[in-house]
Amino acid sequence: MLFLWLYMFYSCAGSCAGLTTRGSPAPPRAAPPLPPLPPGEPGEESSLEEQRAAPDAGSPISISSFFNGSGTKRLPQAIIIGVKKGGTRALLEFLRVHPDVRAVGAEPHFFDRNYERGLAWYRDLMPRTLEGQITMEKTPSYFVTKEAPARISSMCKGTKLIVVVRDPVTRAISDYTQTLSKKPDIPTFESLTFKNRTTGLIDTSWSAIQIGIYAKHLENWLLYFPIGQILFVSGERLISDPAGELGRVQDFLGLKRIITDKHFYFNKTKGFPCLKKAEGSSKPHCLGKTKGRTHPDIDQEVVQRLRDFYRPFNMKFYQMTGQDFGWD
């Protein structure tokens, strides 16, 4: 009888229940159809953090491990699903200051690369939480992974989703800059942008371009999740007003607004806000040297063509989300 009780208790602890999703707003008005795209799937992100080692999917979880340490390992109730080079690392680090948020540091890549390992493997990656705390993870490539929405919905239809978005042109240049830092001999940004520069045909099969077509990716998520269950965070406002954006995130997660202006200072050298005190530390903390890289000079004609290309997709995205991000 004791064993049965422990088994039932642990099974419940592993569920993603614990957060109630706020009521969904009325759906936005229908928007005009998006312009067609040439065929091409988004490429795999080339610079995501190395995932943390974990036991095999089929390894049993012992009762003794349940009692080791404080709290319980639970499946995440909230996930930062995107986007790459949008500001997801900053958001996660800021959120971890909150005493009721516990998050995985490394990107699990469960719903895109490791799904066959199973939910037991995934849950074992999670930090232990106490009653009332939220378990989170972030993997930016989920947003552009076709299978991710169905897989997350299958885990828990009530999972809260957060997407950090950024001007798609700036995001693409930042993406290229990151790759360039690792592969200095890659072709120029300008040559990768076009299938044919003479005709001005944009190469949407290049992942740096494809990721920024947010409206296309969002359509896939809305097949499985209501719009009110997804919070869209502005990467630009995360820099200019981190406390304001964190206030929205805390409200969305049902948390008390503990993270405020007093937690941040602006680092002029890096060009973005830093924490006065990081999680578990009394010292100031800025994101590492891989963040805030200087972008290469890009031909302004190419930049303008990209802005023209993204404009209808941005307008569609604004209508779908009910937010104007002011990217043009």
Q: Is 153 annotated as a binding residue?
A: no
What letter does residue 292 receive in the DSSP assignment? S
pLDDT for the residue numbered 41: 35
Annotated ligand binding at 20? The verdict is no
Q: What is the tens place of the pLDDT at every residue in 62-73?
A: 333 344 458 999
Domain range list for the chain? 72-321
The tens digit of pLDDT for each residue in 302-326 reads: 999 999 999 999 999 999 999 999 9
* 82 marked as binding residue: no
**291 CB-contact burial (10 Å; exposed 0-12 / middle 13-18 / buried 19+):** middle
1-15, 47-61, 122-136, 261-275: least confident range: 47-61
290 annotated among ligand-binding-site residues: no
Residue 214: predicted pLDDT: 98
> What average pLDDT does the structure give for the chain?
82
Listing DSSP states for 174-195 in one string gives HHHHHHHHH-TTSPPHHHHHEE
Average pLDDT of the residues in 227-256: 97
**Are the C-beta atoms of 211 and 140 separated by less than 8 Å?**
no
Q: Is 159 annotated as a binding residue?
A: no
What is the rounded CA–CA span in Å between residue 125 and residue 135? Answer: 11
193 a known binding residue? no
Please, which residues have CB within 8 angstroms of residue 40's CB and are 6 or more apart in sequence?
203, 204, 205, 210
Neighbouring C-beta atoms of residue 228, cutoff 10 Å:
15
pLDDT of residue 290: 52
Residue by residue, DSSP assigns 185-242 as: TSPPHHHHHEEETTTTEE-TTSHHHHTT-HHHHHHHHTTTS-GGGEEEEEHHHHHH-H
Contact 150, 224 (CB under 8 A): yes
CA distance 227 to 187: 38
Between helices 300-321 and 168-182, what is the axis angle to 10°?
A: 120
The strand pairing partners of 129, in sequence order, are 72
**Residues 196-216: tens digit of each pLDDT:** 888 889 999 999 999 999 999
pLDDT band of residue 289 (cuts 50, 70, 90) is low
Average pLDDT over residues 140-151: 98
Task: Write out pLDDT tens, residues 257-283.
Answer: 999 989 887 876 666 789 887 655 556
| Per-residue pLDDT tens over the stretch 146-171 | 999 999 999 999 999 999 999 999 99
What CA dihedral angle connects 241, 167, 83 and 213, to 10 degrees?
150
Residue 287: the pLDDT is 67
Over residues 226-252, the mean pLDDT reads 97
Helix, strand and coil in the chain, % to nearest 5: 40, 15, 50
Tell me the catalytic residues: 85
User: What amino acid occupies position 296?
Assistant: P
Q: What is the pLDDT of residue 179?
A: 94
The response to whether 217 counts as a known ligand-binding position is no
List the structure tokens of 91.
Answer: 């958001």
- pLDDT tens digits for range 54-102: 333 333 333 333 444 589 999 999 999 999 999 999 999 999 999 999 9
Q: How confident is the model at residue 286 (pLDDT cuts 50, 70, 90)?
A: confident
Report the top-level CATH class of 72-321. Answer: alpha beta
pLDDT, mean of residues 185-195: 95
Question: Global pTM?
Answer: 0.80
Mean pLDDT computed over 28-33: 47
113 labelled binding-site residue:
no
pLDDT at 15 over 70: no
SS3 category, 59: coil
